[in-house]
Chains A and B, each alone.
Chain A
């Protein structure tokens, strides 16, 4: 009963993402501890942190791929615990692995995932997203024959295919050149319904600061610094950035 009351309250809140008391361990290794996070709808949060700080685990928890040990996650008012399918329908995910079938062409990969999402106008959507990531001429090429960067672009196309309201991006810049990042960025930021809520993990301060509305540093499973991009003290940011990179794991 308590859960239902809390859930209906949160549905009315204008939050894209709300995380409360999240904990996650793998065996004896605790990755996230009592982690809290809120992000307004349409805002872009860029999470920095050294390897092993918990960035990928956070994204996998938000995406429903991992189940938390403790705590709750709500995305656009839906609980990952109660309505995982509703969340999966509303999010697009780009992880380290491109999540593609190597023996299927670009078009076949997108058609398969489009069918899994039961999308209408699939052919138009496929043409549209392939155009956005500049893979139209490679549409009939098998994924295994694509370069790392092209596979990353196809992975982004797969994440955008169902026009999600929320994007979870784990180092989306890896394998992409600056021009491609500039070209793809605007398509990532906006859905047909408005600004997307984005959580992005990266080590790249240049692209991170460029894309962020808010920045956060994750260290040993907790947020050690968070600021809006507008109010952020760049000097302090860079001090923390260097400190985090140099600190012991």
Chain B
């Protein structure tokens, strides 16, 4: 077990250290997410009465597009000087490499979201932040990071990866996007009962579980050559 867990944290720590040094992923994704919420703030006539209905869509639009931007750069560092080959020649399973990259991507997305959310609260005069909403964001981000890491790795070797990544990623992650938007909407507006919200949360959890099994396997196949 230690043989499996250890390289996961070694890879995740390496990615975090490189990101702290280069800020390649966080800065671009964060600016993009902030741009989205600022533009919506000016473009829509949002009142305290309408914010609860619009907030889930705006928030997840910002998170999803910022996430794709971050994922596009997740394997860029591995492209430097063939370091992906170096990683794949280490005596660790492909699953461990996948989970290492996925954990670092999840952390980057959580940091971006935790910076965007307070700004969203201030700009939109939004007062419906709750632990339930944070839990839904957490579950949605987990699914995003899992699928995103896989497609980031697949798109890494493609010539037009900036185009291919969203094309591959969004259709697959659509069930999670629908689930998080609906569940967030239910929690924020408080118009849906707990069973209704639970169904959407259940959908997110099921897809997270499926992706957490399928994506590491698919990553191993994709990294064969």
Residues in A lying within 8 Å of B, measured CB to CB:
63-67, 85-86, 88-89, 91, 93, 95-104, 108, 112-113, 115-118, 143, 151, 158
A-B contact pairs, 28 of them (CB 8 A): A64-B89, A85-B91, A88-B89, A88-B90, A91-B89, A93-B89, A95-B85, A97-B82, A97-B85, A98-B81, A99-B82, A99-B89, A100-B80, A101-B14, A101-B18, A101-B80, A101-B83, A103-B21, A103-B80, A104-B14, A108-B17, A113-B86, A115-B6, A115-B7, A116-B90, A117-B91, A118-B6, A158-B86
Bound CA–CA A118/B90 (angstroms): 10
Bound CA–CA A116/B11 (angstroms): 8
Bits for B46-63, please: 1 = Cβ < 8 Å to A, else 0. 000000000000000000
Look across to chain B and name the residue whose beta carbon is closest to the beta carbon of A118.
B6
Q: Are the CB atoms of A65 and B18 closer together than 8 Å?
A: no
Interface centre among B6, B11, B86 (most CB of A within 10 A): B86
Residues in B lying within 8 Å of A, measured CB to CB:
3, 6-7, 10-11, 14, 17-18, 21-22, 77, 80-83, 85-93, 224-225
With a CB–CB cut-off of 8 A, which chain A residues contact B21?
103
3 shortest interchain CB distances as A-B pairs: A97-B82, A99-B86, A116-B90
Q: Are the CB atoms of B81 and A151 closer together than 8 Å?
A: yes
Bound CA–CA A88/B85 (angstroms): 12
Which of A64, A88, A97, A118 contacts B81 (CB under 8 A)? A97
With a CB–CB cut-off of 8 A, which chain B residues contact A108?
17
With a CB–CB cut-off of 8 A, which chain B residues contact A95?
82, 85
Q: Are the CB atoms of B10 and A101 closer together than 8 Å?
A: no
With a CB–CB cut-off of 8 A, which chain A residues contact B3?
118
With a CB–CB cut-off of 8 A, which chain B residues contact A115?
6-7, 10
With a CB–CB cut-off of 8 A, which chain B residues contact A118?
3, 6-7
Q: Is chain A's interface secondary structure helix, strand, loop, or mixed overall? A: loop
Which of B86, B88, B224 contacts A100 (CB under 8 A)? B86
Q: Are the CB atoms of A100 and B91 closer together than 8 Å?
A: no
A112 and B82 contact, Cβ closer than 8 Å, known pairs A93-B89, A101-B18:
no
With a CB–CB cut-off of 8 A, which chain B residues contact A104?
14, 17-18
Q: Are the CB atoms of B89 and A65 closer together than 8 Å?
A: yes
Look across to chain A and name the residue whose beta carbon is closest to the beta carbon of B7.
A116
Q: Are the CB atoms of A66 and B91 closer together than 8 Å?
A: no
Known: A103-B77, A112-B10. 9 other contacts (CB 8 A): A85-B91, A88-B89, A101-B14, A101-B81, A103-B18, A103-B22, A113-B90, A116-B90, A116-B92
With a CB–CB cut-off of 8 A, which chain B residues contact A151?
81
Q: Are the CB atoms of B88 and A65 closer together than 8 Å?
A: yes
Which of A66, A86, A98 contacts B82 (CB under 8 A)? A98
CB proximity of A20 to chain B, nearest CB, Å: 21
